[in-house]
Chain A
């Protein structure tokens, strides 16, 4: 009896000890677990708002006809405003050209539409709003009888204040003349909502410069590398015009269905009409804007292009888990100043090339794109070579499949050197342990590739051959099944503050991405790495509705920019994919620049607007040579667009990757592609003389023959019919 009792006691004590020890061990592990800090070593992004000014009432100046009165004037332009409807006109004094916010009354009379569609044409804005607790979008414009206009004076213009009594909403539109054009703003502080109505969006100057089609011309939209919508219309109208969110739809809304349309990479649009043109840059609030182009026949007989500012997102509210959902509107508005800068161009500059050149100047002036050419080794066009280390199998055992070990990579670069490739930048992908599903996003080279030692040896080898080595890493997306970073604290959240999961992935809070990147950059430096390619930084923006941060797309872009800044400071180089405009300030190269249109029914022609903006400042590559759909045409396009050669290769067969998370690499085996790599490198180097030169002209000589002219007078003629290209001095002929 006693003995049994004793034994039981011993068991109890032992169990207790185990329990205590166990929890202590768990606690210690928990303490030691490497958590990522939320604290940033840079100041938070601060929003500065435009001052709401102009208390002094405006006295209409000199009569300008049709009820317009002069409002402001500078050396080049004269601004006049219509006091009764808020319409506005800008006159280029030297050219005698008028750009007006709305079509003339005579023109409106000929229109066939009625109701709001008709009054929209005479309004400086179109307002979308909703009544709280309802889900219908409603539209109103400045001609509604309940609208009260107050015009006050600004230093170089006027502020038109709209009070819409019917819906208890009010806001101001500022028209300010600048040296080279006009600035139209809606200051955040001027927006007032009282009562049950809330603003959804405001389209500013929807019919600015609207063209009737009498004079031929085109609308310019940032579709792919640049898209033109010609007028008068040549073909039958299909679709609803061009309607694209700048930098893509907001993923936290959960309603963006993924079509293969290429998103807008630059907040800019324009119009050419006869020998006049304007380029419009959305210079504030662009990250939550939509660019709309409406060819004749959609809402009117006019061709117009404008910006639509989004204040509240529409999103899907889940009613049950995985079940039904309804569309609702966000509660809190995104209060940001919204500004469009209209820059006027004329004569030979009135065209997409002139617009691109003007935009390039604007971007370098405002410091958004680095100034001056990037140095290149020996004046050569560098090869952008991406090597894929491998990735984890997506089936069965999630085993890491090798595609290129560090040793094999050494072999590849040695052979390329022997073959005469002197300038090359190698980016290693899938190098981190477990590849894409790397659980902690720390610097940990996969042991199956050769581990840290192997990586170091490869870097030394490459340096010895005169090459640079970058690492590619994704610090934006993570897989919740494998990641050690808990989505709840590190993942971004949707409007309803629940973690956003998309295609079985979650997105890291930009602050976390920043801190992970800082560590990654520091560790990469130890290994002699020359740069980083952070995927996601140049192609994806989102809000984070986690109440602890409430990051907007502006905050995200700011943090991403600082990651690149640090990478450039510490390592010397940073490159991005896609190349959204906000990511360019500290970018040394854009990998896979957007080069294909979205094939929108509205867009007639694709032009290299973006390449003209970038060439000479930032090198870029198009689709890698081994991943093209149509080899010949896409190669010539890369030549026409002034790109650098690019390949994505593996040492082993690409079949090693086919069932991994890095799928879709359909052909990448080095031995199969070696000759093509060398041939393309040599072909691209026929353009070595234009490296660092800006593109000064681009035109179509005849069907299928395009000419690109560079700052030093060298012209590149690409003949798609005969599948060849020619480099010469301008005027040589081809």
Chain B
């Protein structure tokens, strides 16, 4: 509904917040944020909270063991960490605490590595190295003995102009190698276990701009040949998860920088749900854990409410972000050039910094474990199992809105619709709410239908035989001024159905100011009701965020401009109507709104999302009806014929447009002036 824009606006406004939380205890040298996603236009927000990951040990590598411009990190099945220690021409293996075990590939001989930039270890312990300097993939066994190498594939399929410079690689369960080769814009080089090239995999598409497309239409072949070739951005890194999905990153690109590919190379992530900020083009690496969550390492310098590592749910919904990169860091856990990371079986993350030559670990907190376990169960649909963990999460943190989604789903499964609805409302999930409400409503009707029916009958009888009569008698004794208003309002009611007749009678008549006010008040109340009482399903926002003054102003501004514009235009076009006529007729044309908004608000409270068609069509009817009345009133009060009136109405609309454009342009033009004056005022009066 109209709140969409509003909410998005707020989502952005949030970035400008204070820096430190109320109960500041800067325990870790970085902040942790939760990314709250509400459905139905509730927007995306980040909330500061306790850490999900805290600093763990730093790898104690010193002396001979010190890393030199390391480039890749891989954690094997047994939680041993393998590092492509590029500057030292070797692979380093450490234990799960980062303590040195051995180096691989630094012995003279065939296995000697040269500037290796990538490493991968299969479940059986076989080590695959992207031996960049030697332009090959080198394979070592679990003891570190050289086994074999794969050089440039020789079969015909490989394009001739393609150089094989492996920088990163992943190997699937069958032993098929997926090699990221430097300069290979066609995609990842896929090699079968025999080392034969079997095609490119998961390549990016070239981003053709609008101009490019025009050029392609207009330019000759010769001209096109002279244009710079638009090549798709190269894939920069690859990770394989336990289910055999590949995650690829593309560095230096602001779109498609993260892809989750299936075995056929099809991207399974259709749009990540992240914060509405410019997305980073410096995604360095991706890691996937056992539960299908994936972690994204972002190398760009962080600003407020940003993080170095983001944790995404399996479907690509960003949940948490933490960590920090900055220039010249002096604190552990703050990096200057994080290049690679991975996660072990106990969910410890190891991050490699190629500038500081440091390998730092992060460990999950109790809270992090509870919330991510609960979320994992939630995402696979095991709501019952996740319930317990959500309850635990809730005692530690009430801000994670996913908790209430989880608890809501669980309550719904248990048939406790009322609390399910309450939970969905807390997490601003109108879809879940709608589902729970459907059941709730059905149960309610089953239980209470008879009473409701009886009540309705009684009310009707009461109205028919008592209230109606009293009113009639009473209305005869009303003072004439009030009687006049009621009569005029009754006329307004008739006008809705017989507009020509009604507006004709209204024309030239001086209606009571109170009648006009009464209609405006009804419209106003209707607007307020629609703002505040529209059912949650159709208006899933936090009501305290409604800026009332603005809403009202924006609502009545079109009416005011119509009155003015219509009067001006029809004066020029020899319309008969005076200003008063235009005003009166325009206000009475709002009658359908005043009458129908009530039922719309009522329906929005008793219908579910699937039945939303009733609400939306009723809303459409309401606006169409109002429009028709506006058109008709123009014809009648100015005494135009049909075509004349259509023209006049059209010109009025154009005038409204012009007035608004004028207002917008002049505000825009004077903005600098007003801003200058405002800044001057601020400088003088406030800031000095």
Residues of A that sit less than 8 Å from B by CB? 234-236, 238-240, 243, 257-262, 321, 388, 393-397, 399, 401, 480, 486-489, 491, 493, 497-499, 501, 503-505, 592, 595-596, 598-602, 623-624, 627-632, 648, 653-655, 657-659, 661-669, 672
Q: Does A666 lie within 8 Å of B326, measured CB to CB?
A: no
Q: Does B687 lie within 8 Å of A501, measured CB to CB?
A: yes
Q: Does B25 lie within 8 Å of A627, measured CB to CB?
A: yes
Q: Does A665 lie within 8 Å of B687, measured CB to CB?
A: no
Q: How far in angstroms is the closest Cβ of chain B from A301?
A: 16
At the interface, yes or no: B553 with Cβ under 8 Å from chain A?
A: no
Cα–Cα, bound, A188→B19 (Å): 37
B residues near A659, Cβ cutoff 8 Å: 542
Q: How far in angstroms is the closest Cβ of chain A from B438?
A: 26
Q: Residue B544 contacts which of A397, A491, A657, A665 (CB distance < 8 angstroms)?
A: A397
Contact A504-B16, Cβ < 8 Å, known A260-B26, A664-B22, A666-B397: yes
Cα–Cα, bound, A180→B111 (Å): 65
10 A/B residue pairs, CB under 8 Å, sorted by A? A257-B326, A258-B19, A487-B686, A487-B687, A505-B18, A623-B23, A627-B50, A629-B50, A629-B365, A629-B367
Q: Does A321 lie within 8 Å of B688, measured CB to CB?
A: no
A residues near B55, Cβ cutoff 8 Å: 599
Q: Does B687 lie within 8 Å of A240, measured CB to CB?
A: no
Cα–Cα, bound, A648→B24 (Å): 12
Contact A655-B23, Cβ < 8 Å, known A260-B30, A397-B548, A599-B333: no
A residues near B365, Cβ cutoff 8 Å: 629-630
Q: Residue B29 contacts which of A396, A504, A598, A655 (CB distance < 8 angstroms)?
A: A598
At the interface, yes or no: B109 with Cβ under 8 Å from chain A?
A: no
Q: Does A599 lie within 8 Å of B22, measured CB to CB?
A: no
Q: What is the chain B residue whose CB lies nearest that of A399?
A: B544
Q: Does B687 lie within 8 Å of A488, measured CB to CB?
A: yes
A residues near B28, Cβ cutoff 8 Å: 260, 596, 599, 629
Q: How far in angstroms is the closest Cβ of chain B from A605?
A: 13
Given pairs A261-B331, A664-B22, A666-B50, 19 additional interface contacts (CB within 8 A): A235-B58, A240-B330, A394-B17, A395-B544, A487-B688, A488-B685, A499-B686, A499-B687, A503-B18, A503-B19, A504-B18, A599-B55, A623-B23, A628-B50, A629-B28, A630-B54, A662-B22, A663-B47, A668-B398
Cα–Cα, bound, A602→B49 (Å): 28
Q: Does A629 lie within 8 Å of B687, measured CB to CB?
A: no
Cα–Cα, bound, A239→B357 (Å): 11
For chain B, residues 1 to 42, give those with C-beta under 8 angstroms from any C-beta of chain A: 10, 13-14, 16-31
Cα–Cα, bound, A395→B10 (Å): 8
Q: Does A259 lie within 8 Å of B331, measured CB to CB?
A: yes
Q: Residue A623 contacts which of B27, B328, B396 (CB distance < 8 angstroms)?
A: B27
Cα–Cα, bound, A505→B17 (Å): 10
Interface contacts (Cβ under 8 Å), in number, total 178
For chain B, residues 48 to 66, give those with C-beta under 8 angstroms from any C-beta of chain A: 48-51, 54-55, 58, 60-63, 66
Q: What is the chain A residue whose CB lies nearest that of B400?
A: A666
Q: Which of B10, B31, B330 is packed against the most chain A CB atoms within 10 Å? A: B330
B residues near A623, Cβ cutoff 8 Å: 23, 25, 27
Residues of B that sit less than 8 Å from A by CB? 10, 13-14, 16-31, 47-51, 54-55, 58, 60-63, 66, 324, 326, 328-334, 356-358, 365-367, 394-399, 426, 542, 544-548, 679, 684-688
Cα–Cα, bound, A661→B14 (Å): 11
Q: Does B25 lie within 8 Å of A396, measured CB to CB?
A: no
* Closest 8 pairs (CB-CB, A-B): A664-B21, A396-B545, A499-B687, A488-B688, A236-B62, A260-B26, A662-B22, A623-B25
Q: What is the chain B residue whose CB lies nearest that of A262?
A: B26
Q: Does B66 lie within 8 Å of A236, measured CB to CB?
A: yes
Cα–Cα, bound, A663→B58 (Å): 32
Cα–Cα, bound, A395→B11 (Å): 10
B residues near A596, Cβ cutoff 8 Å: 25-28
A residues near B356, Cβ cutoff 8 Å: 238
A residues near B30, Cβ cutoff 8 Å: 260
Q: Does A600 lie within 8 Å of B330, measured CB to CB?
A: yes
B residues near A395, Cβ cutoff 8 Å: 10, 13-14, 542, 544-545
Cα–Cα, bound, A239→B327 (Å): 11
A residues near B399, Cβ cutoff 8 Å: 654-655, 658, 666-667
B residues near A238, Cβ cutoff 8 Å: 356-358
Q: How far in angstroms is the closest Cβ of chain B from A629?
A: 5
Contact A598-B685, Cβ < 8 Å, known A260-B26, A631-B366, A664-B22: no
Q: How far in angstroms is the closest Cβ of chain A from B683?
A: 8
Q: Does B18 lie within 8 Å of A497, measured CB to CB?
A: no
Q: Does A654 lie within 8 Å of B398, measured CB to CB?
A: yes
Q: Residue A627 contacts which of B23, B63, B357, B547 (CB distance < 8 angstroms)?
A: B23
A residues near B329, Cβ cutoff 8 Å: 239
Q: What is the chain A residue whose CB lies nearest that of B53?
A: A629
Q: How far in angstroms is the closest Cβ of chain A from B96?
A: 17
A residues near B544, Cβ cutoff 8 Å: 393, 395-397, 399, 401
Q: What is the chain B residue whose CB lies nearest that of A477?
A: B18
B residues near A632, Cβ cutoff 8 Å: 366
Q: Which of A239, A504, A602, A657 is packed against the most chain B CB atoms within 10 Å? A: A239
Q: How far in angstroms is the closest Cβ of chain A from B334?
A: 7
Q: How far in angstroms is the closest Cβ of chain B from A650?
A: 10
Q: Does B686 lie within 8 Å of A669, measured CB to CB?
A: no
Q: What is the chain A residue whose CB lies nearest that of B334?
A: A259
Cα–Cα, bound, A595→B24 (Å): 12
Q: Does B25 lie within 8 Å of A602, measured CB to CB?
A: no
A residues near B358, Cβ cutoff 8 Å: 236, 238
A residues near B684, Cβ cutoff 8 Å: 488
Q: What is the chain B residue whose CB lies nearest that of A429?
A: B22
A residues near B10, Cβ cutoff 8 Å: 395-396
Cα–Cα, bound, A503→B29 (Å): 19
Q: How far in angstroms is the closest Cβ of chain A from B540?
A: 15
Cα–Cα, bound, A668→B395 (Å): 9
Cα–Cα, bound, A239→B58 (Å): 14
Q: Which of B10, B14, B27, B328 is packed against the most chain A CB atoms within 10 Å? A: B27
A residues near B332, Cβ cutoff 8 Å: 599-601
Cα–Cα, bound, A239→B51 (Å): 25
Q: Does B398 lie within 8 Å of A629, measured CB to CB?
A: no
Q: Residue B547 contacts which of A321, A397, A595 (CB distance < 8 angstroms)?
A: A397
Q: Does B331 lie within 8 Å of A648, measured CB to CB?
A: no
Q: What is the chain A residue whose CB lies nearest that of B541?
A: A396
Q: How far in angstroms is the closest Cβ of chain A from B356?
A: 5
Q: Which of A260, A262, A394, A628 is packed against the most chain B CB atoms within 10 Å? A: A260
Q: Does B397 lie within 8 Å of A667, measured CB to CB?
A: yes
Cα–Cα, bound, A258→B304 (Å): 10
Q: Does A672 lie within 8 Å of B546, measured CB to CB?
A: no
Q: How far in angstroms is the closest Cβ of chain B from A500?
A: 9
A residues near B542, Cβ cutoff 8 Å: 395-396, 659
Q: Does A663 lie within 8 Å of B29, measured CB to CB?
A: no
Q: How far in angstroms is the closest Cβ of chain B from A283?
A: 27
A residues near B14, Cβ cutoff 8 Å: 395
A residues near B24, Cβ cutoff 8 Å: 592, 664
Q: Does B29 lie within 8 Å of A261, measured CB to CB?
A: yes
Q: Does A663 lie within 8 Å of B688, measured CB to CB?
A: no
B residues near A595, Cβ cutoff 8 Å: 25
B residues near A658, Cβ cutoff 8 Å: 47, 398-399
Q: Does A602 lie within 8 Å of B330, measured CB to CB?
A: yes
Cα–Cα, bound, A57→B514 (Å): 101
Q: What is the chain B residue whose CB lies nearest that of A397?
A: B544
Q: Residue A499 contacts which of B23, B26, B60, B688 (CB distance < 8 angstroms)?
A: B688
Q: Does A488 lie within 8 Å of B686, measured CB to CB?
A: yes
A residues near B687, Cβ cutoff 8 Å: 487-488, 491, 498-499, 501
Q: How far in angstroms is the closest Cβ of chain A from B635?
A: 40
Cα–Cα, bound, A248→B90 (Å): 43
Q: Which of B23, B58, B328, B684 is packed against the most chain A CB atoms within 10 Å? A: B23
Q: Does B25 lie within 8 Å of A601, measured CB to CB?
A: no
B residues near A394, Cβ cutoff 8 Å: 17
Contact A663-B19, Cβ < 8 Å, known A501-B687, A629-B51, A654-B398: no
Q: Does B398 lie within 8 Å of A669, measured CB to CB?
A: yes
